[in-house]
Amino acid sequence: GEVVVESGGMDCALTPSLSFLVPFYSDTPLSPTCNMRNPSLHDQDPVAYFTRFFSSPASSSDYPCKYDFILIPVFAILLTLIRLVAERILHRIGCFLISVNQPEFPLKKPEEYAMKMIKFREQAFKMTYHGFIGLVALVLFGGSEWWANPDICQLTDASTIKFTPLFKLYYLLQTGFHLHSLVYHYIERTNHKRDDDIQMQVHHFATMFLTIGSFHLGFLKVGTLVLYTHDISDVFIALTKIANYTKFSDPTLAVLLTSVVFSWAYYRLYRFPKDVILNVWEHFDLPNGGLFLKSLNWVAFVLLILHWIWFYQIIQIPLAMVAGNKEYDTTENWKEATKQKEGSKKGASAGKKGKSQHAKSAHIKQQ
């Protein structure tokens, strides 16, 4: 009734329900199969495991365990409850900022104002979370050797995949947040559908696959680099949207948009493929298989394609500002920004054509 995988002299038993995972791993000492099925952890009941887990979060170290996955939906629910409370406070902050920047806006356009406040609360919560969790990552891991030199991640991840409960809590909280974001995306679609709706759905599902899969394999270090590069650039995106919703001046928006372009290019188009995709491709390839690991890297490549698509959409916004479009929303309404830009070009062209025809008529009259 059990499938036994020989892994470098260590026997690892899989229950029948997990036997389908065997082809995804290599039979080498680096195989995560054995570590994920550590009997000393999995023979415990959940209460005993979590009692030990939370009693020494920074000192003890364990392999990723099946009980860890219980925390993902728990964190997703907890973050949802926190968001419901936080958005009440954030709504007041948004109202205050608009009253300072453009006090007549709620009276002139009440429906648009209400929609802006919904989006403001959403982005303010995201900015707060990404800023907080990015700072947590810097504090916890910024001094680690693998943080400054991602090429050595595989030396610890693949051979000795033990992590402190604090490290696992960080990773599981991040996974819970992305589960929360996936559910919230479909809730938000009832209020407004983004121009990049399909890309966002692909992004959410890909991120969930990457976080859960990398945790299962024990590649928490390189996974943390993925999460960090996304968190930092998301802070600039959210901050720019907040400034737009609350009617900050064009010079302020121009500075923020510049920060978005450069942070996105650096973290998502340079650091992400360099430190993650190429690193995994060169150093994490498991001998005799590793299909599951390779599939994770291909999904990461899908994210990179999305990053380039969004980058193209982002750079349309400064062009839209030059064209005089005041109602943009980064990637959410980039089509409208492009239309406005094209409309301005057509208007300018029509104006030139009208002037030319007027000049011709005047010339005929003179003759």
Within a domain: residue 194? yes
- The pTM for the full model equals 0.78
In this structure, the answer to whether residues 31 and 104 fall within a common structural domain is no
* Rounded mean pLDDT, 194-200: 83
Residue 355: inside a domain: no
Q: Rounded to a whole number, what is the largest CA-CA distance in the chain?
A: 103
Judge contact between 119 and 243, C-beta under 8 A.
Answer: no
Considering the domain architecture, whether residues 87 and 49 belong to the same structural domain is answered as no
Same domain, 188 and 44: no
Is 141 in the same domain as 97? yes
The per-type count for the chain, helices as H runs and strands as E runs, is 16, 2
The answer to whether residue 343 is domain-embedded is no
The tokens of 197 are what?
Answer: 């709706």
Q: Which structure tokens are listed for 171?
A: 């990773």
Is 120 in the same domain as 84? Answer: yes
Residues 149, 106, single domain; the answer is: yes
Dihedral angle, C-alpha 346, 350, 356, 357, nearest 10 °: 150
Q: What is the pLDDT of residue 51?
A: 84
Tens-place pLDDT, residues 257-269: 999 999 999 999 9
| 10 plus 129 within the same structural domain | no
322 in a structural domain = no
Last residue of a domain, one of 273, 289, 314: 314
Residue 51 and residue 158 in one domain: no
250: buried, middle or exposed (CB in 10 Å: 19+, 13-18, 0-12)? exposed
Give the domain range for residue 230. Answer: 70-314
List pLDDT tens digits, range 287-320.
Answer: 444 677 778 889 999 999 999 999 998 888 776 7
pLDDT grade, residue 49 (50/70/90)?
A: confident
* 358 band by pLDDT with thresholds 50, 70 and 90: low
Residues 239 and 167 in one domain: yes
Whether residue 11 sits in one domain with residue 149: no
- CA distances in angstroms from 53 to 35, 43, 69, 78, 248, listed in the order given: 17, 15, 13, 19, 47
The answer to whether residue 285 sits within a structural domain is: yes
pLDDT of 56 reads: 79
73-95 per-position pLDDT tens digit: 999 999 999 999 999 999 999 99
Q: Residue 328 falls within a domain, yes or no?
A: no
Into how many domains does the chain fold? Answer: 2
Q: Where do we find the tokens 């992004």?
A: 203
Q: Do 156 and 7 share a structural domain? A: no
CA angle 264, 219, 33 (to 5 degrees): 150
Q: Which of 314, 335, 355 is the last residue of a domain?
A: 314
Strands (E), the chain: 3-7, 10-14
Q: What is the pLDDT of residues 201-259, one digit of tens each?
A: 999 999 999 999 889 888 888 899 999 999 999 999 999 999 999 999 988 998 999 99
- Residue 227: inside a domain, yes or no? yes
Q: In this structure, are 45 and 97 located in the same domain?
A: no
Identify whether 319 is part of a domain. no
Q: Where are the alpha helices (DSSP H) in the chain?
A: 32-36, 39-42, 46-55, 71-101, 105-108, 110-141, 145-148, 153-157, 165-188, 197-217, 220-245, 250-263, 278-283, 291-314, 316-322, 334-366
